[in-house]
Amino acid sequence: MKRFFAVCLCALTLIAASSCTTPSNGPETEIGIWYSTFFSYEEPGSEDNKLDTWNAWDLKYKPLLPDGSFGYYDSGDEEVIKFHLKMLSEAQIDFIIMDQTNHIDVDNGYINERSLKVAQTIKEYNDTADRPVKYCSAIGAIQWSKKPEVIEEEAKILWERYNSQEFGTEDYHYYYEGKPLLIVYGNGGEKMWNEYTGDKTYGSKFTIRWAGNDNTPGYWGWAYTTGPKWHHETVVVMPGWHNRAGNPPVYRDGDETYRKFWDNIMEQESRPRIIVINSFNEYGECTSILPAQTPGIKGMGAKREQWLNAAGEEDPWLYWNLTKEYITAFKASGKPLASGEVESEVSQ
Protein backbone atom coordinates (compact mmCIF):
# COMPACT_ATOMS: atom_id res chain seq x y z
CA MET A 1 0.00 0.00 0.00
CA LYS A 2 2.89 2.34 0.80
CA ARG A 3 4.40 2.04 -2.71
CA PHE A 4 1.00 2.41 -4.34
CA PHE A 5 0.26 5.55 -2.36
CA ALA A 6 3.64 7.02 -3.26
CA VAL A 7 2.59 6.88 -6.93
CA CYS A 8 -0.79 8.45 -6.12
CA LEU A 9 0.93 11.12 -4.04
CA CYS A 10 3.14 12.14 -6.93
CA ALA A 11 0.17 12.30 -9.28
CA LEU A 12 -1.88 14.37 -6.88
CA THR A 13 1.05 16.70 -6.33
CA LEU A 14 1.20 17.38 -10.05
CA ILE A 15 -2.54 18.00 -10.17
CA ALA A 16 -2.37 20.35 -7.22
CA ALA A 17 0.51 22.27 -8.75
CA SER A 18 -1.77 23.37 -11.59
CA SER A 19 -5.03 23.67 -9.65
CA CYS A 20 -5.32 23.53 -5.85
CA THR A 21 -8.84 24.53 -4.91
CA THR A 22 -10.81 24.64 -1.70
CA PRO A 23 -13.34 21.79 -1.57
CA SER A 24 -16.87 23.10 -2.01
CA ASN A 25 -18.40 20.33 0.11
CA GLY A 26 -18.14 21.92 3.53
CA PRO A 27 -15.61 24.22 5.21
CA GLU A 28 -11.98 23.77 4.34
CA THR A 29 -9.92 21.44 6.50
CA GLU A 30 -7.50 23.59 8.46
CA ILE A 31 -4.07 22.43 9.52
CA GLY A 32 -2.47 23.22 12.86
CA ILE A 33 0.91 22.32 14.29
CA TRP A 34 2.31 22.22 17.83
CA TYR A 35 4.98 24.87 18.30
CA SER A 36 7.55 25.02 21.11
CA THR A 37 8.50 28.39 22.55
CA PHE A 38 10.73 27.15 25.36
CA PHE A 39 14.12 27.46 23.67
CA SER A 40 16.45 29.94 25.35
CA TYR A 41 19.90 30.66 23.98
CA GLU A 42 20.87 33.68 26.01
CA GLU A 43 24.04 32.20 27.52
CA PRO A 44 25.34 29.31 25.37
CA GLY A 45 26.79 26.53 27.48
CA SER A 46 24.75 27.32 30.58
CA GLU A 47 23.32 24.42 32.58
CA ASP A 48 20.24 26.54 33.32
CA ASN A 49 17.43 25.79 30.85
CA LYS A 50 16.24 29.38 31.19
CA LEU A 51 19.56 30.50 29.69
CA ASP A 52 20.48 27.67 27.30
CA THR A 53 17.71 25.09 26.90
CA TRP A 54 19.62 23.17 24.25
CA ASN A 55 22.57 22.43 26.53
CA ALA A 56 20.65 22.07 29.79
CA TRP A 57 18.26 19.51 28.29
CA ASP A 58 20.98 17.79 26.23
CA LEU A 59 19.02 18.15 22.98
CA LYS A 60 20.62 16.23 20.13
CA TYR A 61 19.24 18.25 17.25
CA LYS A 62 20.61 21.21 15.32
CA PRO A 63 17.64 22.90 13.60
CA LEU A 64 17.65 24.96 10.44
CA LEU A 65 18.42 28.66 10.97
CA PRO A 66 17.34 31.66 8.87
CA ASP A 67 20.74 31.88 7.14
CA GLY A 68 20.48 28.26 5.92
CA SER A 69 22.94 26.83 8.44
CA PHE A 70 22.10 24.43 11.26
CA GLY A 71 22.53 25.38 14.90
CA TYR A 72 20.70 26.72 17.94
CA TYR A 73 18.26 29.59 18.36
CA ASP A 74 16.24 31.48 20.94
CA SER A 75 12.44 31.26 20.68
CA GLY A 76 12.21 35.00 21.30
CA ASP A 77 14.36 35.91 18.30
CA GLU A 78 12.10 37.87 15.95
CA GLU A 79 14.13 36.91 12.87
CA VAL A 80 13.73 33.22 13.73
CA ILE A 81 10.00 33.60 14.40
CA LYS A 82 9.41 35.29 11.04
CA PHE A 83 11.49 32.62 9.32
CA HIS A 84 9.31 29.93 10.90
CA LEU A 85 6.11 31.75 9.95
CA LYS A 86 7.25 32.02 6.35
CA MET A 87 7.97 28.29 6.24
CA LEU A 88 4.61 27.46 7.79
CA SER A 89 2.75 29.74 5.40
CA GLU A 90 4.48 28.24 2.37
CA ALA A 91 3.56 24.75 3.62
CA GLN A 92 -0.13 25.80 3.84
CA ILE A 93 -0.27 25.36 7.62
CA ASP A 94 -2.94 27.59 9.14
CA PHE A 95 -2.13 27.92 12.83
CA ILE A 96 0.33 27.03 15.55
CA ILE A 97 -0.43 25.66 19.01
CA MET A 98 2.05 27.23 21.41
CA ASP A 99 3.03 24.69 24.04
CA GLN A 100 2.61 26.21 27.50
CA THR A 101 1.47 22.95 29.06
CA ASN A 102 3.81 22.91 32.07
CA HIS A 103 1.97 26.02 33.36
CA ILE A 104 2.04 29.41 31.72
CA ASP A 105 4.45 30.93 34.24
CA VAL A 106 6.69 27.92 34.83
CA ASP A 107 10.39 28.70 35.34
CA ASN A 108 9.82 32.34 36.18
CA GLY A 109 7.79 32.89 33.03
CA TYR A 110 10.63 32.61 30.51
CA ILE A 111 8.50 30.45 28.19
CA ASN A 112 5.49 32.75 28.37
CA GLU A 113 7.74 35.71 27.66
CA ARG A 114 8.76 34.04 24.40
CA SER A 115 5.20 32.97 23.62
CA LEU A 116 4.10 36.59 23.88
CA LYS A 117 6.90 37.56 21.51
CA VAL A 118 5.66 34.97 19.01
CA ALA A 119 2.09 36.31 19.27
CA GLN A 120 3.27 39.90 18.80
CA THR A 121 5.41 38.92 15.83
CA ILE A 122 2.46 37.08 14.26
CA LYS A 123 0.52 40.35 14.27
CA GLU A 124 3.36 42.11 12.50
CA TYR A 125 3.72 39.23 10.04
CA ASN A 126 0.02 38.79 9.29
CA ASP A 127 -0.52 42.50 8.71
CA THR A 128 1.49 42.20 5.50
CA ALA A 129 1.49 38.47 4.67
CA ASP A 130 -0.33 37.02 1.67
CA ARG A 131 -1.16 33.90 3.69
CA PRO A 132 -1.46 34.49 7.45
CA VAL A 133 -0.50 32.03 10.17
CA LYS A 134 -2.47 32.31 13.40
CA TYR A 135 -1.74 31.12 16.93
CA CYS A 136 -3.41 29.66 19.98
CA SER A 137 -2.06 28.18 23.19
CA ALA A 138 -2.10 24.87 25.01
CA ILE A 139 -2.18 24.84 28.80
CA GLY A 140 -1.70 21.92 31.17
CA ALA A 141 -1.38 22.81 34.83
CA ILE A 142 -4.18 20.33 35.47
CA GLN A 143 -1.77 17.49 34.73
CA TRP A 144 0.03 18.36 37.97
CA SER A 145 -2.75 19.67 40.22
CA LYS A 146 -5.63 17.39 39.10
CA LYS A 147 -7.89 20.32 39.97
CA PRO A 148 -10.20 21.62 37.22
CA GLU A 149 -10.22 25.14 38.62
CA VAL A 150 -6.68 25.63 37.29
CA ILE A 151 -8.16 25.56 33.76
CA GLU A 152 -10.21 28.62 34.68
CA GLU A 153 -7.14 30.25 36.23
CA GLU A 154 -4.99 29.72 33.16
CA ALA A 155 -7.81 30.73 30.81
CA LYS A 156 -8.02 34.04 32.67
CA ILE A 157 -4.27 34.59 32.26
CA LEU A 158 -4.44 33.86 28.55
CA TRP A 159 -7.45 36.11 28.03
CA GLU A 160 -5.81 39.05 29.77
CA ARG A 161 -2.31 38.64 28.29
CA TYR A 162 -3.25 37.60 24.77
CA ASN A 163 -6.90 37.92 23.74
CA SER A 164 -7.41 41.34 25.30
CA GLN A 165 -4.40 42.72 23.44
CA GLU A 166 -4.16 44.04 19.89
CA PHE A 167 -2.56 40.77 18.78
CA GLY A 168 -5.39 38.73 20.31
CA THR A 169 -8.10 39.35 17.75
CA GLU A 170 -9.35 36.88 15.16
CA ASP A 171 -6.86 38.24 12.62
CA TYR A 172 -4.04 36.77 14.68
CA HIS A 173 -5.43 34.35 17.26
CA TYR A 174 -6.98 31.19 15.84
CA TYR A 175 -10.74 30.97 16.36
CA TYR A 176 -12.74 27.75 16.22
CA GLU A 177 -16.52 27.52 16.42
CA GLY A 178 -16.74 31.26 16.96
CA LYS A 179 -14.33 31.57 19.89
CA PRO A 180 -10.58 31.61 20.49
CA LEU A 181 -9.28 28.04 20.60
CA LEU A 182 -7.72 26.75 23.82
CA ILE A 183 -6.10 23.31 24.08
CA VAL A 184 -5.93 21.68 27.51
CA TYR A 185 -3.35 18.93 27.99
CA GLY A 186 -3.67 16.33 30.72
CA ASN A 187 -5.11 12.83 30.91
CA GLY A 188 -8.56 12.96 32.50
CA GLY A 189 -8.79 16.73 32.18
CA GLU A 190 -11.88 16.69 29.98
CA LYS A 191 -13.87 14.64 32.49
CA MET A 192 -12.76 16.80 35.41
CA TRP A 193 -13.72 20.00 33.60
CA ASN A 194 -17.11 18.68 32.49
CA GLU A 195 -17.92 17.69 36.07
CA TYR A 196 -16.64 20.94 37.54
CA THR A 197 -19.46 23.17 38.84
CA GLY A 198 -17.32 26.13 39.86
CA ASP A 199 -16.67 29.40 38.05
CA LYS A 200 -16.08 29.08 34.31
CA THR A 201 -16.23 32.75 33.37
CA TYR A 202 -12.99 32.74 31.42
CA GLY A 203 -13.07 29.13 30.32
CA SER A 204 -16.39 29.82 28.60
CA LYS A 205 -14.77 32.55 26.51
CA PHE A 206 -12.81 29.86 24.65
CA THR A 207 -13.60 26.85 22.52
CA ILE A 208 -11.83 24.21 24.59
CA ARG A 209 -10.34 21.09 23.08
CA TRP A 210 -8.23 18.42 24.68
CA ALA A 211 -4.87 16.67 24.41
CA GLY A 212 -3.33 13.80 26.31
CA ASN A 213 -1.25 10.66 26.15
CA ASP A 214 -4.10 8.15 26.23
CA ASN A 215 -4.51 7.77 22.45
CA THR A 216 -8.00 9.29 22.36
CA PRO A 217 -9.44 9.72 18.84
CA GLY A 218 -10.41 13.34 18.23
CA TYR A 219 -7.97 14.84 20.72
CA TRP A 220 -5.65 17.55 19.40
CA GLY A 221 -2.42 15.82 20.57
CA TRP A 222 -0.17 14.61 22.18
CA ALA A 223 1.57 11.22 21.79
CA TYR A 224 -0.37 8.58 19.86
CA THR A 225 1.63 5.56 20.98
CA THR A 226 -0.75 2.90 19.63
CA GLY A 227 -0.80 4.25 16.10
CA PRO A 228 -2.88 6.69 14.06
CA LYS A 229 -6.52 7.36 14.95
CA TRP A 230 -9.36 8.57 12.79
CA HIS A 231 -11.98 11.04 13.98
CA HIS A 232 -14.38 13.23 12.05
CA GLU A 233 -13.25 16.46 13.74
CA THR A 234 -9.53 16.18 14.39
CA VAL A 235 -6.78 13.79 13.36
CA VAL A 236 -3.24 13.95 14.73
CA VAL A 237 -0.17 13.25 12.60
CA MET A 238 3.24 12.62 14.14
CA PRO A 239 6.61 11.38 12.85
CA GLY A 240 7.53 9.59 16.08
CA TRP A 241 7.79 10.26 19.80
CA HIS A 242 10.41 9.72 22.47
CA ASN A 243 10.12 11.73 25.67
CA ARG A 244 13.34 10.27 27.11
CA ALA A 245 11.58 9.60 30.42
CA GLY A 246 11.30 5.82 30.33
CA ASN A 247 8.14 5.55 28.24
CA PRO A 248 8.24 3.12 25.30
CA PRO A 249 9.12 5.25 22.26
CA VAL A 250 7.40 5.43 18.91
CA TYR A 251 10.39 5.25 16.57
CA ARG A 252 10.51 7.22 13.35
CA ASP A 253 12.03 4.32 11.38
CA GLY A 254 13.01 6.62 8.56
CA ASP A 255 9.78 8.05 7.22
CA GLU A 256 7.69 4.93 7.90
CA THR A 257 5.86 6.20 11.00
CA TYR A 258 5.13 9.61 9.52
CA ARG A 259 3.76 8.11 6.33
CA LYS A 260 1.58 5.74 8.35
CA PHE A 261 -0.08 8.65 10.15
CA TRP A 262 -0.61 10.66 6.97
CA ASP A 263 -1.85 7.63 5.04
CA ASN A 264 -4.49 7.13 7.71
CA ILE A 265 -5.98 10.42 6.52
CA MET A 266 -5.39 9.97 2.81
CA GLU A 267 -7.02 6.53 2.70
CA GLN A 268 -10.30 7.68 4.27
CA GLU A 269 -13.35 8.37 2.10
CA SER A 270 -13.90 11.72 3.82
CA ARG A 271 -11.74 14.37 5.41
CA PRO A 272 -11.60 15.66 8.99
CA ARG A 273 -12.30 19.26 9.91
CA ILE A 274 -8.83 19.70 11.46
CA ILE A 275 -5.43 18.07 11.00
CA VAL A 276 -2.92 18.62 13.83
CA ILE A 277 0.76 17.89 13.29
CA ASN A 278 2.87 17.02 16.30
CA SER A 279 5.16 18.94 16.01
CA PHE A 280 7.09 21.73 14.31
CA ASN A 281 10.00 21.92 16.74
CA GLU A 282 9.51 19.82 19.89
CA TYR A 283 13.04 18.46 20.02
CA GLY A 284 12.74 17.50 23.68
CA GLU A 285 10.25 14.72 22.90
CA CYS A 286 11.53 14.04 19.38
CA THR A 287 8.34 14.88 17.46
CA SER A 288 9.71 17.73 15.35
CA ILE A 289 9.61 18.11 11.56
CA LEU A 290 11.47 21.44 11.20
CA PRO A 291 14.61 20.55 9.21
CA ALA A 292 17.43 19.55 11.52
CA GLN A 293 20.71 17.69 11.63
CA THR A 294 20.62 14.62 13.88
CA PRO A 295 24.09 13.02 14.05
CA GLY A 296 24.26 13.57 17.81
CA ILE A 297 21.39 11.19 18.54
CA LYS A 298 22.64 8.29 20.64
CA GLY A 299 21.02 5.92 23.09
CA MET A 300 17.52 6.51 21.68
CA GLY A 301 17.35 3.73 19.15
CA ALA A 302 20.05 5.57 17.18
CA LYS A 303 19.30 4.76 13.51
CA ARG A 304 15.61 4.16 14.28
CA GLU A 305 15.42 7.76 15.50
CA GLN A 306 17.84 9.51 13.15
CA TRP A 307 16.37 11.26 10.12
CA LEU A 308 17.43 8.78 7.46
CA ASN A 309 16.06 8.58 3.93
CA ALA A 310 15.46 5.41 1.90
CA ALA A 311 19.17 5.22 1.07
CA GLY A 312 20.07 5.25 4.75
CA GLU A 313 21.53 8.75 4.50
CA GLU A 314 20.85 11.56 6.93
CA ASP A 315 18.33 13.96 5.42
CA PRO A 316 17.57 17.09 7.47
CA TRP A 317 14.72 17.99 5.09
CA LEU A 318 13.06 14.56 5.07
CA TYR A 319 10.00 15.35 7.19
CA TRP A 320 9.52 18.92 6.03
CA ASN A 321 9.45 17.92 2.37
CA LEU A 322 7.07 15.04 3.12
CA THR A 323 4.80 17.41 5.04
CA LYS A 324 4.50 19.79 2.11
CA GLU A 325 3.87 16.92 -0.33
CA TYR A 326 1.14 15.36 1.81
CA ILE A 327 -0.61 18.67 2.45
CA THR A 328 -0.60 19.46 -1.27
CA ALA A 329 -1.96 16.01 -2.11
CA PHE A 330 -4.59 16.22 0.62
CA LYS A 331 -5.86 19.58 -0.58
CA ALA A 332 -6.10 18.25 -4.13
CA SER A 333 -8.08 15.14 -3.13
CA GLY A 334 -11.48 16.90 -3.09
CA LYS A 335 -13.01 14.59 -0.50
CA PRO A 336 -16.25 15.47 1.32
CA LEU A 337 -16.12 16.65 4.89
CA ALA A 338 -16.77 13.84 7.38
CA SER A 339 -20.30 13.96 8.80
CA GLY A 340 -19.32 13.14 12.36
CA GLU A 341 -21.79 10.30 12.63
CA VAL A 342 -19.21 7.52 12.43
CA GLU A 343 -15.90 7.38 14.25
CA SER A 344 -13.27 4.73 13.79
CA GLU A 345 -9.66 4.22 14.73
CA VAL A 346 -6.70 2.57 13.08
CA SER A 347 -4.04 1.02 15.31
CA GLN A 348 -0.61 -0.36 14.66
Find out whether the peptide bond into 333 is cis, omega within 30 degrees of 0: no
Phi/psi of residue 27, nearest 5 degrees:
-60, 155
How far apart are alpha carbons 188 and 148 in whole angstroms?
Answer: 10
Residue 11 domain-assigned (yes or no):
no
Residue 318 domain-assigned (yes or no):
yes
Name the nearest CA neighbour of 247 among 268, 264, 222, 266.
222
Q: What is the pLDDT of residue 301?
A: 57
Residue 8 domain-assigned (yes or no):
no
Q: 253-302: per-residue pLDDT in tens?
A: 999 999 999 999 999 999 999 999 999 999 999 999 999 998 777 655 56
How far apart are alpha carbons 174 and 134 in whole angstroms?
Answer: 5
Name the nearest CA neighbour of 151 among 110, 101, 77, 91.
101
Q: Which residue has the higher pLDDT, 342 or 215?
A: 215
Q: What is the pLDDT of residue 22?
A: 43
Q: 102-132: per-residue pLDDT in tens?
A: 999 999 999 999 999 999 999 999 999 999 9
Rounded mean pLDDT of 136-149? 97
Quickly state the pLDDT bin for 303 (edges 50, 70, 90): low
Rounded to two decimals, what is the model's pTM? 0.91
Q: What is the pLDDT of residue 299?
A: 53
Rounded mean pLDDT of 131-151? 97
Q: 77-96: per-residue pLDDT in tens?
A: 999 999 999 999 999 999 99
How far apart are alpha carbons 76 and 37 in whole angstroms?
Answer: 8
Residue 8 has pLDDT above 90, yes or no: no
Rounded mean pLDDT of 306-331? 94
- Per-residue H/E/C for the chain: CHHHHHHHHHHHHHHHHHCCCCCCCCCCCEEEEEECCCCCECCCCCCCCCCEHHHHCCCCCEEECCCCCECCCCCCCHHHHHHHHHHHHHCCCCEEEEEECCCCCHHHHHHHHHHHHHHHHHHHHHCCCCCCCEEEEEECCHHHHCCCHHHHHHHHHHHHHHHCCHHHCCCCECEECCEEEEEEECCCHHHHHHHCCCCCCCHHHCEEEEECCCCCCCCCCCCCCCCCECCCCEEEECCCECCCCCCCCECCCCCHHHHHHHHHHHCCCCECCEEEECCCCCCCCCCCCCCEECCCCCCCCHHHCCCECCCCCECCCHHHHHHHHHHHHHHHCCCCECCCCCCCECCC
Q: 216-257: per-residue pLDDT in tens?
A: 999 999 999 999 999 999 999 999 998 877 788 999 999 999
Pair 249, 314: CB distance under 8 Å: no
The structural domain count of the chain equals 1
How far apart are alpha carbons 197 and 149 in whole angstroms?
Answer: 9
Phi/psi of residue 40, nearest 5 degrees:
-105, 145
Residue 319 has pLDDT above 80, yes or no: yes
Residue 21 domain-assigned (yes or no):
no
Residue 51 domain-assigned (yes or no):
yes
Q: Which residue has the higher pLDDT, 20 or 104?
A: 104
Which are the contacts of 112, defined by CB distance < 8 A and separation ≥ 6?
Answer: 100, 104, 105, 161
Residue 14 domain-assigned (yes or no):
no
Q: What is the pLDDT of residue 313?
A: 87
Residue 145 domain-assigned (yes or no):
yes
Q: What CATH number should be reported for the domain holding residue 203? A: 3.20.20.80
211: burial class by Cβ within 10 Å (0-12, 13-18, 19+)? buried
Residue 343 domain-assigned (yes or no):
no
Domain around 134: 26-332
